[in-house]
Amino acid sequence: MGLVKVHNLNDFDYSEKYNGQMIVIPAGEYIKMEYFEAEQFLAKKPPIWQDKSGGLDPRCLKHLKIDEDDKKLLYEEMHDNPSSESEKAYVCHACFKEFRTQKGLLKHIKNKHIHLMADKDAKDELLDDEDI
């Protein structure tokens, strides 16, 4: 999919073995990972450590976050460039331009290719539709 930054917001370096690989993120720094891998990595619960007094050791806290700007860019990429055919469902047969909605396709046909329509009833129906 795409690379995102995974930030360590803790004051301590974070390290964890993940999918057979040791991941180390220095305190206040970030590493780059594939988005879905980063989501899975963040969802995995780390082991809990105790300090000498029996309290929670802050070094074991997984205080990590995926960069919000990277997530927004990926979201925009996915929606501006749909990858599956179901997202490109409406295609103009006259010029092969693709549309995300049926209404967008009909508006295009009405404005550009109405003269090519052979079915007179369908042509009149499209011309009479004021919503398009």
Give the Cα separation of 23 and 10 in Å (integer): 15
Domain with 111 in it: 86-128
The larger pLDDT score, comparing residue 130 to residue 67, is at 67
CB-CB contact of 99 with 38 (8 Å): no
Residue 71 sits in the same domain as residue 95: no
Cα dihedral 98, 36, 12, 31, rounded to 10, equals: -60
Residue 72 sits in the same domain as residue 95: no
Q: What is the pTM of this model?
A: 0.56
Residue 8 sits in the same domain as residue 67: yes
Residue 61 sits in the same domain as residue 98: no
Residue 50 sits in the same domain as residue 111: no
Domain final residue pick, 61, 80, 99: 80
**pLDDT attached to residue 39:** 92
Residue 61 sits in the same domain as residue 9: yes
**pLDDT attached to residue 1:** 64
Domain final residue pick, 41, 61, 80: 80
CB-CB contact of 113 with 95 (8 Å): yes
**pLDDT attached to residue 76:** 80
CB-CB contact of 93 with 106 (8 Å): no
Over the stretch 70-117, which tens digit does the pLDDT of each residue have? 988 888 877 765 555 555 578 888 887 888 889 989 999 999 999 888
